[in-house]
Every structure is written in structure tokens, then in C-alpha cells.
């Protein structure tokens, strides 16, 4: 198992961030295909260095899903911030 250098890897992608996301995604694919895979991240880095894996770390469909989830999350937070919880009532029957 060869260990590609960071310089080799950065020649294949635009940034260290993209490399990180691409490697994590490929490692996850490897793990999903083979539950017993050993060192899936190392295999992913080797595949990137060999030019077998390239592309964006998010596909347009995944980006749309991410944006929808973010919108839903922001709306839920806004609703929570507007929610007014009344103080507890005194249920002992005091008059």
C-alpha cells in the first residue's frame, strides 16, 4: 500500500478542503461497498492520487438537498425564537 504525498494529492484537486471532502466521501463509498475494508481512508487517498476519483465533493443534487435542509433548519430556529412559552400556572387553587 503506497502512501501518496500531500503534494501528489493537491495536484489532483483545487484545495485542501476539496481533498478532505473528496477523501471522506470516497472512504465512505469504500466502506459501504465492503464492510470489512481495512483503512478505507488510505485507499481513498490512493485512488485520488491515481486519478481514479475526481470531481466535486458535492453533486448538484446533494447541494440542492443541503440547501433545502439548511433552509428548513433556519426556519425551525426562527420559529423556536418566536415561540413564547407562558409561565407555569399555579395549580394549587389559590385565590
- pLDDT, tens only, 1-10: 678 999 999 8
What's the chain look like in SS3? Answer: CCCCCHHHHHCCCCCHHHHHHHHHHHHHHHHHHCCCCCCHHHHHHHHHHCCCCCCCCCCHHHHHHHHHHHHHHHHHHHHHHHCCCCCCCCCCCCC
In this structure, is residue 41 part of a structural domain?
A: yes
How does residue 58 score in pLDDT terms, banded at 50, 70 and 90? low
Confidence (pLDDT) at 95: 54
Q: What is the pTM of this model?
A: 0.56
Q: Are residues 43 and 63 in the same domain?
A: no
**Is 90 exceeded by the pLDDT of residue 77?**
no
Claim to verify: residue 47 and residue 62 sit in the same structural domain: no
37 plus 72 within the same structural domain = no
pLDDT for 79 equals 83
Asked whether residue 66 is domain-assigned, the answer is: yes
Residue 91 domain flag:
no
For residue 95, tell me if it sits in a domain.
no
> pLDDT at position 17, please?
84
In which band, very low, low, confident or very high, does the pLDDT at 16 lie, cut at 50, 70 and 90? confident
Amino acid at each position: 500500500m503506497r502512501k501518496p504525498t500531500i503534494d501528489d494529492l493537491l495536484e489532483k484537486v483545487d484545495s485542501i478542503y476539496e481533498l478532505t471532502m473528496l477523501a471522506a466521501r470516497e472512504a465512505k463509498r469504500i466502506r459501504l461497498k465492503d464492510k470489512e475494508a481495512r483503512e478505507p481512508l488510505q485507499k481513498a487517498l490512493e485512488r485520488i492520487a491515481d486519478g481514479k476519483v475526481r470531481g466535486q465533493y458535492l453533486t448538484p443534487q446533494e447541494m440542492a438537498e443541503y440547501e433545502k435542509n439548511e433552509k428548513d433548519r433556519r426556519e425551525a430556529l426562527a420559529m423556536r425564537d418566536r415561540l413564547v412559552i407562558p409561565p407555569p400556572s399555579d395549580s394549587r387553587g389559590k385565590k
